[in-house]
Structure 1
């Protein structure tokens, strides 16, 4: 069996390897499965990325009486977000603590991703929070309410299989995943607006997620600095009214 040093040296040497790139079908809503890709395979996709992040999880830990209460709240948020993303034909490709990443491909991917974000906002504020206040007296007494921030961005991305055998996943490389993550980090800086989307996503939206009763649901554009560049984005404080 190779030593740890030999294994690390082998991994480092792979930095110069050549990727076998193919273009994923732009008409399908599917996303490649890691198990169907080799470790030198790469897929070029046109995709919209959604990051939904629980706000003030540190405040949750401080307010809750037990770790079990914290786990229940986080687990419920992630379960609900996953179900909503999948219902809009999005694919779950990553969890990071209290944040979930969804990938949308195919027709209407921008509209579907934004509709998912608005449904997540509805579920968090109208379904999960009332239940939390009812079940956990500690959170009610502390005045802690569950909130989420969702960032969405669209770009061409390169999907590669990362990790080692029996412990691998897809790695997304491109502006879309980076910008979506950055937008989800804006959190409380948006004065009650809990959805932020890049300009490229906004420009491709369907009417159902742009206008509500004749009023534009979005404000902007605003400017965000990232990696030496500047990117425009829009925000909204609207939510879907049902699931």
Structure 2
């Protein structure tokens, strides 16, 4: 371990600009990195600790599976790349044309799937349960530094940059507003992702802990 730590801190980095979301196999375990500008989305199931502490294991697993399945299908439909599953949440990266709008639309569609697919079917199968799936989604954009970390036979990518951290933090806020995006994302949205029949879908607020302007929404976008 001492030898490897010394090597990591002393070895020069090999960097290149990325045109696509890299796979782990595209990077070496040495100090090798891809730099790209991207939008990061974190979709996070709310109160999962309470869920597993108070419900049967199979019920909690079904909630996890249905939420992550719908989120993944929608993210893929908007040409987002799923980069990780972390228990009750999913991380995705969007690059290229309309990446901000595609990420925002995916978030609103995940909210629609939660409201109009997951919860109604859950209620149909568990009529005596008062449980409802709640979630939060955070989206930010920035330059990212992507490297491979771990050991041989057990490794993954680490996403270094503001968007990865802030999107995750936005995804941990209260679920009274299921979707939150940063000002940088909002400013690049197409009009159809900002307004519906002339009505704004987003409310501007200040994210005090990070001293940033963000936009939050309770809207949903039909997946049908």
Q: TM-score range by the shorter chain?
A: over 0.9
What SS class does the counterpart of residue 123 from structure 1 fall into? helix
- Cα RMSD of the aligned pairs, angstroms, is 1.4
Write out per-residue CA displacement over residues 44-78 of structure 1, whole angstroms, 9 at most, x where no aligned residue: 100000000001213322442x2111111101111
Greater than 3 Å deviation, 4+ residue runs: none
Write out per-residue CA displacement over residues 126-155 of structure 1, whole angstroms, 9 at most, x where no aligned residue: 1001111121245x2xx2200110000000
TM-score scaled to structure 1, two decimals? 0.87
Q: Is the 8 A contact 1:157 1:173 kept in 2?
A: yes
Residues 1:54 and 2:45 aligned together: yes
Equivalenced residues, count: 222
Q: Which position in structure 1 is the counterpart of 2:146?
A: 159
Q: Which aligned pairs between 1:120-135 and structure 2 lie closer than 5 A? A: 120-135=110-125
TM-score scaled to structure 2, two decimals? 0.94
Residues 1:106 and 2:96 aligned together: yes
How far residue 24 of structure 1 moved from its aligned partner, in angstroms, is 1.2
Residues 1:18 and 2:19 aligned together: no
Q: Which position in structure 1 is the counterpart of 2:216?
A: 235
- Mind listing any 5+ residue stretches in structure 2 that lack a counterpart? none
How far residue 166 of structure 1 moved from its aligned partner, in angstroms, is 2.1
Moved more, 73-82 or 53-62: 53-62
How far residue 162 of structure 1 moved from its aligned partner, in angstroms, is 1.1
What SS class does the counterpart of residue 171 from structure 1 fall into? strand
What SS class does the counterpart of residue 91 from structure 2 fall into? strand
- Mind listing any 5+ residue stretches in structure 1 that lack a counterpart? 1-7
Residues 1:36 and 2:26 aligned together: yes
Q: Which aligned pairs between 1:187-226 and structure 2 lie closer than 5 A? A: 187-188=174-175, 192-226=176-210
Residues 1:79 and 2:79 aligned together: no
